[in-house]
Structure 1
């Protein structure tokens, strides 16, 4: 289904080496129609952190099951087992044709690097190691619409200016990353918790907006286990905070028809003075079931224990249950139903404890005043090329 648009590279200028090279165009177009029963405004300083009365909404959305994107990826064989690689991936709103990720041309990924027998080293805008390690242990596989990815992996799960190592040795995968400047900004959504983040790479302030992390996973036969750590040091005021996360995860597959998985993620965010601004624990469990060669079901339950946010130790803990049914007409085209019910937070577990990360980048799932639950459902179509 992928189109190779460049087949064979010419010899280098000196005429000494001839190497095979290819570039592939790929992408996903995903759009759906959604109903949500309780939707308020995202709290911000401009509305005095008040989500308002809210109401129900019916709307067309981009990227319910997969984020809509197009991209280019390429390799060149340099000989001796060494290859150069690159990926340029652009996210877009298929309902409006506009660009995502703050209007970046290649906001999803943009990196170049080398790969050899002992691993891959890449440089550019990339997913951090925790996000990549978690990918094989999240039941909904980061399905865009209702997945609380900002809660699970942090708002910095894509990072600018990043060097990343990935090594695969049989069933063992090892990852590590360092970002010189993450390039993520989280606006202030409550008076008690400051906004955070910037572009980084500040002269005389090497630590500001830097980040680092690592992940190790082992998948062999029906079993899978993994551990991961991530730390982001976002700009807060004239200094930097320390946002830390660590996770353990596991999975078990029953033949080719069913798989269960789950895990635990510890989190602690401190401001530039070392004062605690968020302490939470996150748990998830769920599974995937293949009913037939064309029909798949996914079920996921998520729970966030918010122990402290801005000094408030009594916040009601958000939780969510989500169900996805996907029917494939072919390897390239499918239709899906995605539904979710959340409590003590909006869909995607939107709350002050998540900085309303999904609502700030897609559509609002902020709970309005007087409401404690939200239900959403969407029917969509996806084409992969």
Structure 2
């Protein structure tokens, strides 16, 4: 009888453990995206202050220019009952062509968060996407067929998620009649100054039948540190984390906005909408980016900027499924910056073209072509050079980038 009692207790414990295990899930997932790319002009050096360049062929990970940066991640959920779940995601980005870490050397630089979901919404905390990306990116060419290289110049409005948000708490509502909303706050963590290095954002979206729309807002204080400087390879407030003016042996980086590191506040507002009719979808996106109160922080300001630099971008794009496996995409975007320190401002016109062919549900071949023209003067105080996102900037006002990629999802 004693042995039988122990057996019953053991079986009960086993089935209880099995039931608890059945209520928890952990999923391993990922993407590998590699491609050949060509640029007609890529900077190699500076001679007498003038950028020098040459054409370039390279094998690169999609992190820089393609549709989906290579990654692997773990996604988990535990059912707590009553519609509540404990959830987490840790997601690593890597460069498949070299095996090194992406996102500035952060081990889980794409995402790393934990949270609780309920019937009313989800609260998460960690390194996350901001609401502007969640609600506006899906309408941009870069979020559909053109990938990172199809971003607005140097991804100045972050719609392609170049920068994630550290130390953040985020709430996203459940969907109500097609409407959703989200709010995020990132703690600066500076003793005695609650607002230094803080970031906050808002977003909302609607999906109903053939029509969808979304809006978002992001506000980052001391952005050189809080927004652009939040990965292991970045420097302190005394380093320029936005980009570089280059040297006699190195190219520039992000010349569209690299000169504005001394801004006290970065503000980005954006909105987008799309309409689908059969196999075709047309979308429109607009963003406004402000580097406010330049010269008021301790970050580098070698050109002595003051006041505000304001960029306005408009992106019109469309895609069409010629067959269920073959997608065609095309789009044009225009970016304008105001006059700063008496310069003539800057303008960028970009054409995006893409073709994506699915070999299976998990594997596709694609090609993207981007043509960009720059006018005026850029943030480095030089005649504006073309700068397709993910490529080394051109040495001239024109740049053509082409990528042929193979992507596999698992």
Q: Of residues 159, 181, 190 in structure 2, which corresponds to 1:174? A: 181
Select 1:331's aligned residue among 358, 361, 371: 361
The alignment status of 1:283 with 2:308, answered yes or no, reads no
Q: Secondary structure, in 3 states, of the residue corresponding to 1:66?
A: coil
The equivalent residue for 1:121 is 123
Q: Quick one: which of 214, 225, 232 aligns to 2:220? A: 232
1:131 CA drift (Å): 0.8
Q: For residue 109 of structure 1, what is the aligned residue in structure 2? A: 111
User: In 2, distance between residues paired with 1:126 and 1:367?
Assistant: 32
Indicate the residue corresponding to 2:372 in structure 1.
342
**Which residues of structure 1 form unaligned runs of 5+?**
1-8, 182-200
- Separation in 2, partners of 1:344, 1:77: 53
The alpha-carbon deviation at position 247 of structure 1 amounts to 1.7
Aligned length: 340
Q: Quick one: structure 1 residues 297 and 272, their matched pair in 2 at CA, closer, same or farther if it must change by over 3 Å?
A: same
Q: Distance in 2 between matches of 1:318 and 1:100?
A: 28
Shift of 1:277: 3.8
CA RMSD of aligned residues (A): 3.1
The partner residue of 2:74 within 72, 75, 83 is: 72
Give the TM-score of the pair, scaled to structure 2. 0.76
Offset of residue 272 of structure 1: 5.7
Q: Which runs of 5+ in 2 are unaligned?
A: 1-13, 225-236, 239-261, 298-305
Residue pairs, 1:1-385, within 5 angstroms: 20-41=23-44, 50=49, 52-63=51-62, 64-141=66-143, 143-148=147-152, 150-153=155-158, 157-167=163-173, 168-181=175-188, 201-234=189-222, 241-255=264-278, 257-270=279-292, 271=294, 273=296, 275-309=306-340, 311-344=341-374, 352=379, 362-364=390-392, 366-368=393-395, 371-385=396-410
Q: Distance in 2 between matches of 1:264 and 1:115?
A: 31
TM-score (ref. length: structure 1): 0.80
Say whether the 8 Å CA contact 1:122–1:163 is kept in structure 2. Answer: yes
Residue 208 of structure 1 and its aligned partner are, at CA, apart by 1.9
2:5 is matched with none
Cα distance between partner residues in 2 of 1:340 and 1:33: 14
More helix by share: 2
Measure how far apart 1:23 and its partner are.
0.4
How far does residue 250 in structure 1 lie from its aligned partner after superposition? Answer: 1.4
Instruction: Go from structure 1 to structure 2 and tell me whether the alpha carbon gap of 1:97 and 1:145 turns closer, same or farther (over 3 Å shift).
Output: farther
Q: CA deviation at 1:22?
A: 0.5
Structure 1 counterpart SS, 2:169 = strand
**Contact map agreement 1:114 1:122 (CA 8 A) in 2:** yes
> In the superposition, relative to structure 1, how do residues 49 and 290 fare at CA in structure 2: closer, same or farther (>3 Å)?
farther
Change (3 A) 1:18 1:54: closer
Q: 1:316: how far off?
A: 3.2
**Offset at 1:153?**
2.9
